[in-house]
Amino acid sequence: MSDPILTLDAIATDIAQYHILKGVGFQVPRGQVTMLLGRNGVGKTTTMRTIMGLLRNKSGQIRFDGQEIGALPASARARAGIGYVPEDMGIFTDLTVEENMHLAAVSGAPDQARLDWLFSVFPPLKTFWRTSAGNLSGGQKQMLSIARAMIEERRLYLIDEPTKGLAPAIVATMVGALRDLKRQGASILLVEQNFAVARALGDKVVVMDDGHVTWEGDMGELATDTGLQERLMGLSMEAG
């Protein structure tokens, strides 16, 4: 197998005076979906923000496609090919859906074929194209946030809880979109609390607890072992 697209090595990140990440290390293989799982508050979002460069790691290494990126600002990491869907979606509510998408296409005007594909996956984006994004429903905002990351081909997608608080029909839309992306050979690091969704999409699993990685392995192994699930992630994980 080829070298991983992303390698974290002993990452430590503080927020204010708190030590949140205490030596996180794992790899994200190319062309696969890697699930980052764990209870609430264990440091999943902090890990994502550290990879993106919105938080600085005080020690450890972040290697992206063979290059050490730990010293680069977030904008340079984005330009290097990392697409980010934050937990709070990061929608610019004062801008229209169209303006949000144009801003996300950093290398020029959005590609029409790719836009058409995104419209077919997320029809509301087409319907509300010229409307203020602040008026979208929660599900539509999440669609916009993911579409924004997908408007250009990225070498790695960081997606933080894309189904949080969404109605089942919209969750299904999200899963369909991520499946499409996976089928195109994208490398994805995905945080997901809904285990059914995680199982449907994940190839590899990384489990965190209290600022550490506590387990790394195949989804197949975790999916069949409810005892292991219980032990690693406790009761907050909803099976089914």
Partner 1 sequence: MMSAAPDHSPTFARLTLIDRLGRAAPYLLVPVLVVLGFLAIGAPTSWLTLTVSGLAMGMMIFIMASGLTLVFGLMDIINFGHGAFISLGAFVGVSVLFALPGWTDAASLPLNIAAILLAILAAMVLTGALSWVFERVIIRPVYGSHLKQILITVGALIVLEEAIHVIWGGEEIFLIRPSELRGAITFAGAALEKYRILAVVLGLAIFFALRVVLRRTKIGLIVRAGVENPDMVEALGYRLKLVFIGVFIAGSALAGLGGVMWALYEQVITAGMGENMMVLIFIVVIIGGLGSVEGAFVGALLVGLLQNYVAFLEPKLALISNIALMTAILLWRPEGMMRVAKGH
Structural contact between residues 69 and 81, judged by C-beta atoms closer than 8 angstroms: no
Mask for 37-76, x = binds partner 1 (CB under 8 A): ---------------xxx------------------xxx-
Whole-number minimum distance, CB 39 to ligand ATP, in Å? 7
Contacts of residues 15-24 at CB distance under 8 Å and 24 or more positions apart, as own/partner, are: 15/46, 15/55, 19/211, 20/46, 20/211, 21/46, 21/47, 21/50, 21/57, 21/211, 22/210, 22/211, 22/212, 23/60, 23/211, 23/212, 24/60, 24/208, 24/211, 24/212, 24/213
Interacting residue with Mg ion among 13, 32, 34, 45 (CB under 5 A): 45
Structural contact between residues 6 and 47, judged by C-beta atoms closer than 8 angstroms: no
Nearest of 63, 35, 34 to residue 51 by alpha carbon: 63
93 interacts with partner 1 by CB under 8 A? yes
The CA distance from 57 to 62, in Å, is 9
121 interacts with ligand ATP by CB under 6 A? no
Q: Return the DSSP state at 203.
A: S
199 interacts with ligand ATP by CB under 6 A? no
Which residues between 20 and 39 bind partner 1 (CB under 8 A)? none
Q: Express the helix, strand and coil content of the chain in percent, nearest 5 each.
A: 40, 25, 35
The CA distance from 112 to 131, in Å, is 19
- Which amino acid is it at 108? G
Q: Return the DSSP state at 194.
A: B
139 interacts with partner 1 by CB under 8 A? yes
35 interacts with ligand ATP by CB under 6 A? no
16 interacts with ligand ATP by CB under 6 A? yes
Interacting residue with ligand ATP among 20, 62, 125, 144 (CB under 6 A): 20
Q: Considering only 35-43, 100-108, 110-118, 223-231, which stretch makes contact with ligand ATP by CB under 6 A?
A: 35-43
Mask for 1-40, x = binds Mg ion (CB under 5 A): ----------------------------------------
43 interacts with ligand ATP by CB under 6 A? yes
148 interacts with partner 1 by CB under 8 A? yes
The CA distances from residue 102 to 113, 133, 145, 163, in Å, are 14, 13, 12, 24
Q: Which is nearer to ligand ATP, 82 or 125 (by Cβ)?
A: 82
By the criterion CB under 6 A, which residues form the site for ligand ATP? Answer: 15-16, 18, 20, 38, 40-46, 87
By the criterion CB under 8 A, which residues form the site for partner 1? Answer: 52-54, 73-75, 78-79, 84, 86, 88, 90, 92-95, 99, 102-104, 106, 123-124, 127-128, 131-132, 134-135, 137, 139-140, 148, 167, 169-170, 172-173, 176
